[in-house]
Amino acid sequence: MQAVSRTMRKNGGGSIINASSVEGLAGMPSCTAYAATKWAIRGMTKCAAMELGPKGIRVNSVHPGMIDTPMTRVHGGDAAMEYGASKVPLRRVGVPDDIAPVYVFLASDESSYINGAEIAVDGGVTSTHAFGA
């Protein structure tokens, strides 16, 4: 953000989109270090949105849930994908094509009044209450 904000200010504004995770919205056992970095991105996004908004720069974060990629498949392959899908209200894990349009939207002028938002793209995982799952 620091590297691009100066150029964005000179060019009249822009959109910064930070990549986080659902672990930046809720805790998960055995993921303390990972979750801490994702919560940090969330907080950094909020602060930057307030600081850069007056300069015409919007700052938002995207929080994907379980996405079927080589990185997630390394932790159990098809079995992990099936187990993950069973925990998602939509009963499937996401694919990269579920995430990409959110980034395109946030980068576009169609989202010109969205600043400081955290967008969960998780099939509904973060919509639940602890007793609802």
pTM beyond 0.85: the answer is yes
Residue type, 77: G
Residue 79 lies in a domain: yes
- If one counts the domains in the chain, the total is 1
Residue 130 lies in a domain: no
Distances (CA, A) of 95 to 66, 71, 112, 122: 8, 12, 26, 10
Which residues is 119 bridged to in the sheet?
A: 62
Residue 133 lies in a domain: no
Q: Are strands 57-64 and 118-121 parallel, antiparallel or unpaired?
A: parallel
Asked if residues 1 and 43 have their Cβ atoms less than 8 Å apart, the reply is no
The mean pLDDT value for 27-32 works out to 88
Please report, for the domain that includes residue 107, its CATH number.
Answer: 3.40.50.720
Residue 131 lies in a domain: no
Q: What is the pLDDT of residues 106-124, one digit of tens each?
A: 999 999 999 999 999 999 9
Q: Report the chain's mean pLDDT, rounded to a whole number.
A: 94
Catalytic residue among 34, 83, 103, 113: 34
Annotation says 103 is catalytic: no
Residue 86 lies in a domain: yes
